[in-house]
A = this chain, B = another copy of it.
Amino acid sequence: MTAQRRVVAEVLDGEHVHLTADEVHARAVAKLPEISRATVYNTLGELVTLGEVLEVATDKRAKRYDPNAHQPHHHLVCARCGAIRDVHPTGNPLSDLPDSERFGFTVSDVEVTYRGVCPNCAAA
């Protein structure tokens, strides 16, 4: 556990939002000016493989990192401004996929992304 990794962990911990790698880097630099982008990417990658952080690719721009890895949840994304909220739908979509639709795959995970317009953008 080095200073750099601690800083990255703190950035993700302190903010319950979905930051891009560059945003993580920007906030990490604020706390530890000499930290490099490569280290941020390395550390984020390690956190992902450790299961402490989730990668989400809700738009096709930058990946975002979700520190809320321990509670299963899905995402609700504003189509206009890109805002992301965690949501907890009822039901389990895994049980909605019959064997006949699995094509022999071993299905282990499911991601659900709801899309819509947030109240702010609807008002504007």
Given the interface contacts A55-B60, A57-B57, A93-B93, does A88 sit within 8 Å of B101 by beta carbon? yes
Indicate if the CB atoms of B76 and A102 lie closer than 8 Å.
Answer: yes
Chain B residue numbers with a CB within 8 Å of A114 are 93-94, 97, 105, 107, 109-110
Task: Please report whether the interface of chain A is mostly helix, strand, loop or mixed according to DSSP.
Answer: mixed
A115 close to B (CB within 8 Å): yes
- CB contacts under 8 Å to B, within A73-124, are 76, 78-79, 85, 87-91, 93-94, 96-98, 101-119, 122
How far does the Cβ of A120 sit from chain B's closest Cβ, in whole Å? 9
Indicate if the CB atoms of B105 and A96 lie closer than 8 Å.
Answer: no
Chain B residue numbers with a CB within 8 Å of A102 are 76, 87, 116
Chain B residue numbers with a CB within 8 Å of A97 are 76, 87, 89-90, 114
